[in-house]
Amino acid sequence: MPSQWRLSPEARESVRVRTALHRSHEKANAMSQHELLEAWVNDVATMCQPEQVVWCNGSEPEYATMLRLMVQAGTALWLDQGKRPNSVLVRSDPGDVARVEEFTFICSRSKDDAGPTNNWRDPADMKRTLTPLFSGAMKGRTMYVIPYSMGPIGSPIAKIGIEITDSPYVVANMHVMARVGSRVLETLGAAGEFVKGLHSVGAPLEANAPDSPWPCNPKNKYICHFPETREIWSYGSGYGGNALLGKKCHALRIASVQARDEGWLAEHMLILGLTNPEGRKIFVAAAFPSACGKTNLAMMNPTLPGWKIETVGDDIAWMKFGADGRLYAINPEAGFFGVAPGTSLKSNPNAMRAAEANSIFTNCAVTPDGDVWWEEMTETPPLELVDWLRRPWTPKATRKAAHPNARFTTPARQCPVISPDWEKPGGVPISAVLFGGRRAGVVPLVNEATSWRQGTFLGSIMSSETTAAAAGKVGNLRHDPFAMLPFCGYHMGDYFAHWLAVGAKTDAAKLPKVFYVNWFRKDDDGRFLWPGYGENSRVLKWIFERVAGTGKAVDTPIGRLPAPGAIDLSGLRIQDAQMAELLRVDVEGWIAELPAIRKHYERFGSKLPRGLRDELGALEQRLQAAAVGAGGH
């Protein structure tokens, strides 16, 4: 009898997995004709000293292999296949649960290029720090080479990257979040440009040493971006945007620099298609900080009869000018990496349906019958659970069952309202851009900028109450310009100037209209004034009408607000006093915020564009005039 048949079932499975990986390596590597890519991969392998190198081909068997490897390692567990087909639950180390902004660096040659909102390190100094850490970092592990395309493969707006990692979790998630594999190498060809991404969990394995279910290096975490050389080096964290280098690192921090250099926009924005009952469609992009309702809005079921929303993307938009002078956008991602807590059939039924199969859940709780659960998923929690830290949990517990930043990774194609245009290579034309955040007061329900410059001003002064998507205290108010504070790869003052320059590249009539929205305004008792969720379609209807030239508005000191009766409230029980408060221009509140805006602007020094200084001065004059007119000041 052959010796392999005397192996245990687990050992036989390991042999089979390694054989599949070897075949994957052979097939994908055969497609690579790029000498610089081959040389870089060899250099990294020499430095990191992995047990083997696998070139990912992007196939379904390869994805299945990654899931099996995670289950074998104790990183993941299979969910009930009747409830969640082909889905797993992953639980991370408690010290590796969110973006680590304090360990995220922009390593530009000049500190001034990184600006005051980024942590800066000299690139040569940072490489001297990182190289010893990466040396031998992959001992005992497999080094995976992931060719990926951000955007539809071959799209004129898409970009190619290569991520090297020692994490099956990263490979599996990148399969969902980007277009991965051999077709990308074919498109890259022998001389195409690509972003270099190097990632390691920073936990080398000595011979016969046991592995951790979630290997990471809590003492040494670095997420480093080298914008001039289009490189990303990430060490020590295996979580989310720290490790899935195609996401925030490439699609925003590096791409924002590429966009500045090449004359386009890489933005932290959802993209949705909005169709009225007559069948006319527009596309809207919207920037909100993480965990502020972007995914909910992108997949919303409108409550207004006859209106339809289709999802193009829920997190990132890349926008370039078309031949007609309009901005066209693609979603560079292929999946959703959504915040789970707060997602429910009430708040986002389409996200819930999208995640019914072929999904990776991270740091959620698990039910006795093998399904996932998180806070607000159901009106009442299950009577018993195992929480994200593998501890028994009941509703009497004072702690959360799921981590507040628990996530679901789900293919975008599974979204019930995915747009038929979501993978259109040339992108979709953007008619409106929305900015917003969590504000309990001052900011009205919706406000239209009078110009692209004022819209840029509104984006530059965005502020929001912080959420669990980033490590740190929750609930503080911070300015988050364009929802790009953690993601802009260069000086934010230059970023503002780039937005103004983009607006000057075409006729003003061809630019998207810009709006500032706030679903989260509260009354004096702390209750939300606006019902949100599907009712936000009423605000989108007014925005649609403003784009079409039929919506009624009134000029105010802060911009154009809906005229009385312009928001369709048919069938909605909301008091007149509530609507009046939602659309009230809080002149005193805005005046009180002016010092904070000036302090915010001071950070950018001489790089703050004069146009934004002028907008702030004009706003102050209008507010003071309004206050005098009201007899308040």
Q: Is the pLDDT of residue 474 over 70?
A: no
Residue 80 is given by DSSP the state P
- In 3D space, the residue among 175, 150, 156, 151 whose CA is nearest the CA of residue 69 turns out to be 175
Interval 394-402 mean pLDDT: 97
Confidence of residue 3 (pLDDT cuts 50, 70, 90): very low
Out of 56, 292, 415, 488, pick the active-site residue: 292
Interval 484-510 mean pLDDT: 97
Q: Is the pLDDT of residue 121 over 70?
A: yes
Share of the chain above pLDDT 70, in %: 93
The DSSP annotation for 282-339 comes to: EEEEEE--TTSSHHHHHT---SSTT-EEEEEESS-EEEEE-TTS-EEEE---SEEEEE
Interval 524-548 mean pLDDT: 96
The predicted pLDDT at position 317 comes to 98
Rounded to an integer, what distance in angstroms lies between the CA atom of residue 593 and that of residue 58? 50
Confidence of residue 464 (pLDDT cuts 50, 70, 90): confident
The predicted pLDDT at position 11 comes to 40
Residue written as tokens 């078309």?
Answer: 322
Q: Is the pLDDT of residue 545 over 80?
A: yes
Q: Is the pLDDT of residue 354 over 50?
A: yes
Three-state DSSP at 584 gives coil
Confidence of residue 33 (pLDDT cuts 50, 70, 90): confident
Q: Is the pLDDT of residue 129 over 90?
A: yes
Concerning whether 48 is annotated as a catalytic residue, the answer is: no
Superfamily of domain 337-408: Phosphoenolpyruvate Carboxykinase, domain 2 (2.170.8.10)
Q: Is the pLDDT of residue 458 over 80?
A: yes
Please list, in sequence order, all residues whose beta carbon lies within 8 angstroms of the beta carbon of residue 376, skipping any fewer than 6 positions away: 341, 342, 343, 344, 347
Listed in order, strand segments (DSSP E) in 490-548 are: 513-517
Q: Is the pLDDT of residue 15 over 50?
A: no
Q: What's the gap between Cα 584 and its chain centre?
A: 32
Interval 602-622 mean pLDDT: 98
Confidence of residue 4 (pLDDT cuts 50, 70, 90): very low
Q: What is the residue extent of each domain of the chain?
A: 3-74+97-262, 266-335+418-585, 337-408
Interval 433-456 mean pLDDT: 96
Q: Is the pLDDT of residue 19 over 70?
A: no
- The CATH number of 3-74+97-262, from 3.40.449.10, 3.30.1240.10, 3.30.565.10, 3.30.360.10, is 3.40.449.10
Interval 166-186 mean pLDDT: 97
Q: Is the pLDDT of residue 239 over 90?
A: yes
Query: Pairing relation of β-strands 119-120 and 159-165?
Result: unpaired
The predicted pLDDT at position 14 comes to 46
Q: Is the dihedral of CA 320, 183, 351, 251 positive or negative?
A: negative
pLDDT 10s digits, 330-350: 999 999 999 999 999 998 999
The predicted pLDDT at position 5 comes to 30
Share of the chain above pLDDT 90, in %: 88
8 Å CB contact between 285 and 267: yes
Please list, in sequence order, all residues whose beta carbon lies within 8 angstroms of the beta carbon of residue 501, skipping any fewer than 6 positions away: none
The predicted pLDDT at position 28 comes to 53
Residue written as tokens 């993307």?
Answer: 313
Rounded to an integer, what distance in angstroms lies between the CA atom of residue 597 and that of residue 321? 31
Confidence of residue 29 (pLDDT cuts 50, 70, 90): low
Interval 177-188 mean pLDDT: 96
Rounded to an integer, what distance in angstroms lies between the CA atom of residue 260 and that of residue 607? 15
- Give the angle subtended at the CA of 109 by the CAs of 103 and 114, to the nearest 5°: 50
Interval 571-593 mean pLDDT: 96
Interval 576-588 mean pLDDT: 96
Q: Is the pLDDT of residue 420 over 80?
A: yes
- In 3D space, the residue among 481, 515, 517 whose CA is nearest the CA of residue 499 turns out to be 481
8 Å CB contact between 192 and 34: yes
Q: Is the pLDDT of residue 480 over 70?
A: yes
- In 3D space, the residue among 200, 192, 241 whose CA is nearest the CA of residue 217 turns out to be 200
The predicted pLDDT at position 7 comes to 32
Q: Is the pLDDT of residue 471 over 60?
A: no
Q: Which helix (H) or strand (E) holds 35?
A: helix 35-48
Q: Is the pLDDT of residue 329 over 60?
A: yes
CATH classification of 266-335+418-585 is 3.90.228.20, yes or no? yes
- What's the token pair of residue 99? 């973006």
pLDDT 10s digits, 272-308: 999 999 999 999 999 998 767 888 999 999 999 999 9
Q: What is the mean pLDDT of the chain?
A: 93
